[in-house]
Each structure stands twice: as structure tokens, then as C-alpha cells.
A and B are shown apart, each in its own frame.
Chain A
Amino acid sequence: MTKIVAAADVRKIFRQPKRKPGLGGALTGLFSREFTEVRAVDGISFAIKAGEAVGYLGPNGAGKSTMIKMMTGILVPSSGDLTVLGRVPHSHRMINAAEIGVVFGQRSQLWWDLPVRDSFELNRHIYDISAQRFAENLARLTAMLDMVGYIDRPVRQLSLGQRMRAEIAMALLHDPKILFLDEPTIGLDVVAKDVVRKFLAEINRQRGTTIILTTHDLVDIEEICPRLIMVDDGKLLFDGELRHLRATLGNRRRLTLEFATDPGPIALKTAELVADEGAAKHFLLEKEHTSILDVLTELGSGHNLTDIKLEEPNIEEVIRTFYQNKPSLAGARA
């Protein structure tokens, strides 16, 4: 597999004019300008192989959209090397644009007053798609995204979920090698999110389309992207598989044992007691490969155990821990 996106120490520094408040400030701003530097992307490196699905995760203002804009060629990095499909995106904008698909969750690319089909037809001309390939792709995408019912309705009459499905279909009509999505599930309801996620996972697994998406919804990552890149303040915090993130963070599974009567204090080597409610005791398992059986073997019989509950660490908890412990964990790789 070949690298199709490579970023090496990429930085983007925005210079923003300092504005003083009020009319006087606006007037002085016309003559003398002071600038503040905003480091939106601050020395990020990663490589993405063909066929991967990567989630680019970070809180608001972490520099996610800036990175997507640089990869799609509509923003020039301040420094560092960035190549997409072996080319520098912004200096080969037209060629790059023909080989990628882009969906912005908050910006529509559909023609507002016209039926969805007409916008698709326009894209056929823009990307110079042959009639046969267009017909095939249109039929396939219409069926997969369940657009039959509304493809002939004007875009302004569609729900957000329908529109987003149409946006994604439109970005895929020309068989792009890479699909970039900037917050594709933003504002969608649970059902619509689910349709979008299942579809993206499917085209990635079945057709091998490389997917790079930004989100702050963790479920997007769980369901679509085996690989996770986490950023904050423009810096890379983590790059690797989601399950490795759990391991890196040492988030442990929680075991709850319930007894018929309080067995008194219990100390175990395989699990750490974190809360003791008498008849119910809560443990954290020490290691990832520790099984319940290990714990029960160590516990031995004769305790009149009534219930056992094992909980996986919740991904939201994992990420929250990550951001809270950020300074000590910065640069962690898995």
C-alpha cells in the first residue's frame, strides 16, 4: 500500500489584525495594523495509506478544518511539506480537485433551487464523467443512500439528513480516490447519522475509497474509522488505532461483584478495589488481558457471589481522560 497523504511538520500560522474596540479603534485600524499570530496547525506529521479511514478528532478550534483545507488545496501551509496523491495540493489545485471529493457539513455544494438530480448532472460536466460511468454511479449511490424518493425534489425542500446524503453522493460521483469530510454528521438526527456512518464505512471497506473525516462526535470514529488522529491547539496528541488509545491511557475495565452478604474486606492482586459498598464491591482490572476467571480464581469459593458485572471503558471517558491529562500525555503514539 502506498502513502497517499503525507504531512511532515506542517504548520499554518494565521496573522489576524488586532482590532481595538469602538469606532476610534476601527479608524486607527485603517492606518496602523498590529497582528496577532494564531497557530492553527502547529507542526503536525502523519502519513495516510490508500484505503485507510482516518478520523481527525479535536475540540472546536483545534485546527481540524484548517488541516482539511490544506489537504484539499484551498489553503497554503505556512511551512512543512504536505503532499496528496504525490502532489502539492495548492500548486496543482485543478488536478488535485479532480481526484478528490470534499463534503463540508456546514456548506452546501448543491444548487439550492433545482432538483438534486440537476446538481448531479452539473457535476458530471464539471468532472467530465462519461455518461455510462455517471449512470452507474448515480444508480448505485441513489440506492445505497436511499435517495430515490427525493432525487427529483428541489434541494431547498429537503431535510438536513436528506441533503447531507445528497452532498455525499455528489462528492462521490466522479470516483474520487480520497473523500474528505468536514464534520459530515453535524446537526443530523440519530437515524440520519447512522445512515451516513454505515454508508461511509461501506464505501471505505468495499470500494477502498480513502476517507479522511473531521468530527467531534466520537461515534463517527468508532463506526467509520479504525484509525484516529487527535489534535488540540494545533498539535498532534495521538495517532493510532482507537483500541490502542485505551491501552495507552491505561483505561481499565470496571468489575462489580455483588454478594448475598457483606464478605468483609477483600484484597486481590488481579484487580484493585476502588469502591466498597459492603455487599457490592467495585474493582478495576489491572491488566488488559486479565479475565474474570482470573479474578474469580483468585477470589476463591465460599463468598456467596450473586452477580458479576464487567464494563468496558466508554470511549467518551477515554477521550475525556486524554484531554484532561493532555500535558503529561502529549506526543503519545501507539
Chain B
Amino acid sequence: MKAVAYPAFALTAFQSRLVYRNQVWASAFGDLVSIFARIAIWTAAFAGASQVDGITLPEMVTYALLSAPLLYWEYARVLYDVGDAVRTGDVAVFLLKPLHYPSYLLSTHFGHFAFELIAVVVPVALIVGFTVGLLPPASFFHGLMFFPYWAVSWLILFTLACLCGLIAFWLLTAFSLEWFLMAIMSLFSGAIVPLWFLPTPLATLFGYLPFAWISYYPAAVYLGKLDRTASWLHLGIGLIWLGLLTAAVLVLWAKARHRLIVQGG
């Protein structure tokens, strides 16, 4: 098959989301509530101070929007998709076609993400921007740098969700894993609390784990909290993590496929 099929999957996933228009309102509303709740918490925590640990309140508002709906997207869909396909044996349907399942997943979920970005995240950002106000990138360099960070963030979250979905093949349930992943990631990624507010030992540890590249580093780069050298260095480390996670997904998929075709699931 030609690689042209993969963009077609993304487009199809995008179109399939148009069917459930009510979901758009529900998730936009959910995201707004979550952002305004975090803005309220930060406003209270700052208690009128102009800055805390060198961070201003407007920076925290921008961080709240960047970290959660944008960077920390709804990865649970990937996890359920993989988990269900593996548990019910529907994954056989993909094996019957001349296509590569992980690539199929990647393109499909990119389609879902593109839909959420356009239908949910952008309107939410506009609402937050016009009501509370959002900051532009700290500099032109940081603004440009945000895009490769964003790509790495997206792919790391995708590979982590795939890994958990694939592990379901051995544990035969994705449910407990999802809670496990959710708890770890919301803390380790900095999606709720940025690492700069954590105690130094924890922040240092979390700063080296791949989760930090999901929300914390991209948002920190956008806000100019990393200088040029640190920005390039951390992008490199992020890419190494991405390489390792991708390799892990491919190995696990090969194992799952082997088990599926040898033991019949």
C-alpha cells in the first residue's frame, strides 16, 4: 500500500468526529471549567503578590492553558483504542489488511487531535484570551522553539498511551492502567503544577523523566524559562526519550503480534 492511506486515516478520524457535535460542547465546557478552576487556585495562591519564585500570575494563566488542553490532550482515547482492539481481538481486522497498525493508530489519533485542536482548544484559548488574557511567547526564538517541543510532546504522550494500551494485551485490561497512567502523568508532566513550584529534589527527578516533555518543557520554553542553550539541550533529551519510547512501542507491538498469531490471543 502507499503511504497516502495514512493521511486518509487522519482525515477519516477527523470526519468521524463531526458526527458527535454534542461532544464538542461537552469537552469545551469541561476544559473551560478546568482552566478557570486552575486560574482561581493560582490567583488565590499568589495572594496579591506580583510574583512567586520569579513567576508572575499572567504567566501561570498562560501555563494553565498551554499545559492542559493543548499539550496534555485526551490521550485516553488512544489507550482505549489499543486496549479494546487487543482485548476483543479486533486487532485481527488490522492484521488482515496490508497496513502497519502503529502507523494506523498514529494517523488516526492525529486526526482526532486535529479535530479537538480546531473545535475545542482554539475556541477555549480565545475565550481565556479575551477574558483573563494570555501572554505571547517570551521571544521570537522561544515562539519558534515551541513548535518542535510541541511535536515531541504530542508524540511522547502518544507513545506512552500506546505502551499502556499494548500492556493490556498481557494484563487483559486497560482500565487500571489508565488510572495509573493518569495519576502519574498529571503529576510528573507538570500538567497541573509546573515543576518549578515543586521541591528541588522532586523537580530535578521529574525533570529527567519523559513525562516532563509533555507539558512542562514546552510551556516553559514558550514562557522563556529556558535560555537558548537549555532549550536546545532539552529538545535533544526529549528526542532521545521519544526514540526510546517509539522503540518500546515497536518492540511491544511485535511481541503482541507474535503472541496473537502464535497463541491466538
Contacts and interface: CB of A to CB of B under 8 A. Distances in A.
A and B form one complex: yes
A126 B97 contact: yes
Helix, strand, loop or mixed for chain A's interface?
Answer: mixed
Interface of B: 1-2, 4-5, 8-9, 12, 15-16, 19-20, 89-90, 92-93, 95-99, 260-264
Contacts of A75: 261-262, 264
16 contacts: A12-B264, A66-B264, A72-B96, A74-B95, A75-B262, A75-B264, A90-B261, A93-B95, A97-B96, A113-B19, A113-B20, A114-B15, A114-B16, A122-B9, A125-B4, A154-B19
B8 A127 contact: no
A1 interface: no
A98 B261 contact: no
A111 B96 contact: no
A97 B15 contact: no
Interface in A70-84: 72-76
Contacts of A98: 1, 98
B154 to A, nearest CB: 23
Interface of A: 12, 14-15, 40, 66, 69, 72-76, 90, 93-95, 97-98, 102, 104, 107, 109, 111-114, 118, 121-122, 125-128, 154
Nearest to A94: B98
A182 to B, nearest CB: 10
Contacts of B2: 125, 128
B5 A125 contact: yes
Contacts, number: 76
A111 B12 contact: yes
A126 B94 CA distance: 11
B261 A76 contact: yes
A122 B12 contact: yes
User: What are the 7 closest A-B residue pairs judged by CB atoms, nearest first?
Assistant: A125-B5, A113-B16, A125-B8, A97-B98, A98-B98, A74-B95, A94-B98
A122 B16 CA distance: 13
Nearest to A90: B261
A286 to B, nearest CB: 48
B139 to A, nearest CB: 42
B99 A126 contact: yes
Nearest to B5: A125
Contacts of A90: 261
A32 to B, nearest CB: 17
